[in-house]
Each structure stands twice: as structure tokens, then as C-alpha cells.
């Protein structure tokens, strides 16, 4: 399972909405959950028990995407470093 495209409109940021969404998702999912995010967002997800993965720890799909992003960086794409994270979830 992958957590994908969690976003809050700019006008609504800094109001705890993303945290509320994360708590709701955590309550409804048992098992392993992966996500990809820009490196600066890592600490936000770590607060929910996600841990960054090394390339060797990533599932095949995420290794492919990670390699693609790194390839784009070689061509000067101005994107933040991609972080792949995992959480072994327990029902809360």
C-alpha cells in the first residue's frame, strides 16, 4: 500500500489539517504503508512512525522511481531530493 498525494491547499496550511488526515489514515490501516515525499517533509512523516529507506530496502517500484528522479537531477532538474519511507502500522 502507498500513501499518495496528501496535500493541503496553501490557504489551509498550518492549521493541523494534514495531521488530522494522517491520524485518520493510520486508524483505518493495518500493515505496511509506503510513501514518497520531498526530503524536507521527512520529519513530518517521521512523527507518525515512518522511517526513511535506503535504496536496498525499497520495494522494486520505489527503487525504479528513485533512480528516475536521480537521473533527472543529473540533467539539472531543480527538485528536492526524493525520500521513500515505510511504516509498519498497527491499528490505533
Distance of CA 63 to the CA centre of its chain: 14
Q: Which pLDDT does position 12 carry in this prediction?
A: 94
Q: With CA atoms as reference, report the closest residue to 36 among 28, 27, 45.
A: 45
DSSP code of residue 81: P
Is the pLDDT higher at 14 or at 26? 14
Q: pLDDT tens across 15-59, in order?
A: 999 999 999 988 888 889 999 988 899 999 999 999 999 989 998
User: Considering the entire predicted model, what is its pTM?
Assistant: 0.79
Q: With CA atoms as reference, report the closest residue to 72 among 59, 62, 84, 82.
A: 82
Which residue do the cell numbers 489539517 mark? 17
For the chain, list the domains and their CATH numbers: 6-89 (3.40.630.30)
Continuous segment of H or E residues that includes residue 18: helix 17-28
Q: Which pLDDT does position 74 carry in this prediction?
A: 63
Neighbours of 59 (CB within 10 A): 13
Q: pLDDT tens across 75-85, in order?
A: 665 666 888 99
Amino acid at each position: 500500500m502507498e500513501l499518495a498525494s496528501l496535500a493541503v491547499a496553501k490557504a489551509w496550511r498550518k492549521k493541523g489539517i494534514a495531521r488530522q488526515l494522517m491520524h485518520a489514515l493510520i486508524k483505518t490501516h493495518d500493515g505496511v504503508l509506503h510513501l514518497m515525499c520531498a526530503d524536507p517533509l521527512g520529519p513530518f512523516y517521521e512523527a507518525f512512525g515512518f522511517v526513511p529507506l535506503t535504496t536496498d530496502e525499497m520495494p522494486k517500484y520505489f527503487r525504479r522511481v528513485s533512480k528516475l528522479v536521480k537521473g533527472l537531477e543529473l540533467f539539472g532538474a531543480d527538485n528536492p531530493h526524493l525520500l521513500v519511507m515505510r511504516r509498519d502500522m498497527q491499528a490505533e
